[in-house]
Amino acid sequence: MEIVEQEVTRLDGIHEAIERYAVDRLRTIAKHEAYTKELEQERLNAVGWHEKNDLTEKLVEHGHHSPRKYLHEFTQQASPYFGILGIHDNDKRIGKKEYLIGNQTLMDGQRVAIVDWRKAEITGPFYEGYDIGEEYELTIRGVEREGVITRRDKVAISRKALTRIETPSEVYELRGGEWHKNGSACESTADTKERTEDHRMVDSIAALISPEQFRAITKQREGVVVINGAAGAGKTTVALHRLSFLMFDAPEKYRPERCIVLMFNRVLRDYVKQSSDTLLGPVRVDTYSAWSLTALAALGVHSLKTSFDDPFGAQKKSSLMPALLAKYVKETSKIEPVTDLWRFLMQEYVVSTLFQDSGETFRREAERKFEAKERVLSFSDISILLRLAQLRRPAGTVVLGALNAYDHIVVDEAQDLSSLELRTIVAATSPARSLTICADEKQQILSFLDSQGFSSVMAQLHSQGLEKENLTVSYRCPKEIVDLAAQVSGRKVDASRAHAGVVEFHATKTSTESMAKMRQLVEALVQAAPGSLTGVICKKKADIKALHAALAGVRGLHPEGEISFSPGVQVIHAHAIKGVEFSHVILYNPSSYDYRQTDPDRNLLYVAITRACKSLHIVHHQPLAKGLV
Ligand SMILES: Nc1ncnc2c1ncn2[C@@H]1O[C@H](COP(=O)(O)OP(=O)(O)OP(=O)(O)O)[C@@H](O)[C@H]1O
């Protein structure tokens, strides 16, 4: 197979180039550092202050050109590239050329041996779905280029060895030490997780990015980009790759220390950790709640205690809150921030707007806290306090980490943030208001949020030039689950890229029988694929204990209350599973009593069933929720 021989030879050449680069890099660094030492010695020996000053200036200037800043270590030895793009350019000086595309640029002397996938002006045709022989028009470094695409192949290199070549028409694969033509479909991210026994989000899917995802990733460099799409369409993946692209494309504009990724909860934050480390390096990835506390500290509000209890949490997340707060700030002057918050909540117009009947208890509570200078706040209070503290600052004030300061913010699962929370995030970005917002209104699961909140903020951002990208293809779930999800949510999704999977219903007569069935299913799944992760999902937190008891002793059962992404079995309630995924999902008794005909319940059921990458088992002893039958 000629193509295999060619590619093996090419890879050998790249390995040699990697070694040359490493040697050259260390040599250049050593030379630079030796000269630094020489200058330091000269400065030490210098007698006159004039001479000392000159040498200090020279040292500073020399420091600016440290090769450590631009000659980065090449870290992709095991799998240096994943794509080959061939062009035949009309410009005879360029002519026929092949680019290798990988996760990091590799220089071989003055020649670029591997192009970073984020160099979109070159890699665009690789991602944008060009056919072989199709004409292209590109602008590379301001120069118009025209020609035809001659090659667009994917390769897999594992532990430095070529294992697969995928051309638009053929797949060559190394199996059992022999190369075969017409190999199988490429490994799914679910299979990768099972093989590596790590069920956090896979670090980079740069090799797999689809044309619509590439467009969203490289979309308009400034302003707000909203990534919409069904569960498993790659919203979070695209958002992380997008920030990675922005920081690569314009490092002076998107500085890692001035970018942040805000996730829905700690489970999701831990789930994306591996991926965000690879793609974003030192960028902070945190929950909204954790960030809001640090933002308040940056605004000078310290010594707060937080509490999860708040009987009025829902009212405080009302979409009417931003207007109330704006009125209050206009009519009152600044006092100590926490006292300011209680005073705001005591206002007659606040109480009468938030409560249709009597808000007496609410008002009395706010008055008591005002008098007592209370420092214990619920997370709903925290977001009001943060917005209040932002609004109290003169327009245009920059406060690092809190106000008019971030170069870019990624917000995941934004549909479940209140309008006030979203406003605190928007206000924290620099005036360019550069944000990537992932949202799917069919996954809004917080019953206490009124849905106008999210749409009102989107409408406001729309008037400021928001761009929407809709991801239409589902990658996570098999076709059978995509179909069931469409039945539950009432939304059709493109399942053309979906693999085959399993949806099975198991009806029993009693909860005891259901528990026994769950155990039987879990044991079979763990035994069949020890590297897999099975999610046992229930609606009520109270069921977790009973399920743990029923599964006691099953191999790989994660301890109760501890979320882990290692292989085994995780019992978890439906509100904690947003954004994450499991090889298999077993849904415990999704009855019509637990999942009623309300939007949040329907959405919660949709979220639960779309967590499965391979199979979904529904075990029930009560009538099933609508949509499942
Ligand atoms: N182009 C692609 N090819 C193959 N797999 C992909 C692609 N894009 C994303 N994936 C995989 O699909 C899965 C779902 O991606 P992701 O979690 O980003 O989707 P999402 O839209 O954020 O889902 P949810 O709405 O449930 O949070 C992940 O395992 C991801 O690695």
Domains by residue range for the chain, with CATH: 1-185 (no CATH), 212-292+396-471 (3.40.50.300), 311-392 (no CATH), 479-620 (3.40.50.300)
- pLDDT exceeds 90 at position 460: no
Q: Is the CB of 607 under 6 A from ligand 1?
A: no
Pairwise CA distance, residues 390 & 421, whole Å: 12
- pLDDT exceeds 90 at position 517: yes
Determine contact, residues 295/388, Cβ cutoff 8 Å: no
> Where is the binding site for ATP, in residues?
229-236
> Where is the binding site, in residues?
229-236
Predicted local confidence at residue 596, as pLDDT: 93
Q: Is the CB of 262 under 6 A from ligand 1?
A: no
Of 487 and 494, the structure prediction assigns the larger pLDDT to 487
Q: Is the CB of 580 under 6 A from ligand 1?
A: no
Atom number in ligand 1 closest to CA 471 = 21
The CA 343 to ligand 1 mean position distance, Å, reads 45
Residue nearest to atom 8 of ligand 1 (CA): 234
The rounded mean pLDDT for the chain is 93
* Cα torsion 507, 511, 516, 521: sign: positive
Predicted local confidence at residue 447, as pLDDT: 73
Atom number in ligand 1 closest to CA 190 = 29
Pairwise CA distance, residues 439 & 262, whole Å: 13
- pLDDT exceeds 90 at position 96: yes
Chain segment 49-88, per-residue pLDDT in tens: 999 999 999 999 999 999 998 899 999 999 999 999 999 9
pLDDT category, 516, cuts 50, 70, 90? very high
pTM given for the model: 0.94
- pLDDT exceeds 80 at position 512: yes
Residue nearest to atom 24 of ligand 1 (CA): 231
Pairwise CA distance, residues 64 & 325, whole Å: 48
Predicted local confidence at residue 486, as pLDDT: 94
Q: Is the CB of 453 under 6 A from ligand 1?
A: no
pLDDT category, 496, cuts 50, 70, 90? confident
Question: Which of 45-59, 284-298, 374-388, 528-542 shows the lowest per-residue confidence on average (mean pLDDT)?
Answer: 45-59
Pairwise CA distance, residues 421 & 410, whole Å: 14
- Look at the block and give the residue holding tokens 């022999």: 178
pLDDT category, 592, cuts 50, 70, 90? very high
Predicted local confidence at residue 186, as pLDDT: 79
Determine contact, residues 600/549, Cβ cutoff 8 Å: no
The arithmetic mean of pLDDT across residues 92-96, rounded, is 93
The CA 479 to ligand 1 mean position distance, Å, reads 15
pLDDT category, 35, cuts 50, 70, 90? very high
Predicted local confidence at residue 142, as pLDDT: 85
pLDDT category, 27, cuts 50, 70, 90? very high
Predicted local confidence at residue 316, as pLDDT: 93
Chain segment 163-218, per-residue pLDDT in tens: 999 999 999 999 889 999 887 777 888 999 999 999 999 987 999 999 999 999 99
Predicted local confidence at residue 276, as pLDDT: 94
Residue 529: which of 571, 568, 586 has the closest Cα?
568
pLDDT category, 536, cuts 50, 70, 90? very high
Residue nearest to atom 6 of ligand 1 (CA): 475
Question: Which of 127-136, 331-340, 450-459, 510-519 shows the lowest per-residue confidence on average (mean pLDDT)?
Answer: 450-459
The arithmetic mean of pLDDT across residues 293-320, rounded, is 94
pLDDT category, 453, cuts 50, 70, 90? confident
The arithmetic mean of pLDDT across residues 113-131, rounded, is 94
Q: Is the CB of 268 under 6 A from ligand 1?
A: no
Please tell me whether residue 123 adopts helix, strand or coil conformation: helix
Predicted local confidence at residue 13, as pLDDT: 97
Residue from 154, 199, 200, 205 to probe ligand 1 pocket by mutation (most atoms less than 8 Å from CB): 205
Structure tokens at 117: 């996938």
* Cβ within 8 Å of residue 298, ≥6 positions away: 399, 400, 401, 402, 403
- pLDDT exceeds 80 at position 220: no
The CA 556 to ligand 1 mean position distance, Å, reads 25
Structure tokens at 213: 């995802």
The arithmetic mean of pLDDT across residues 568-586, rounded, is 95
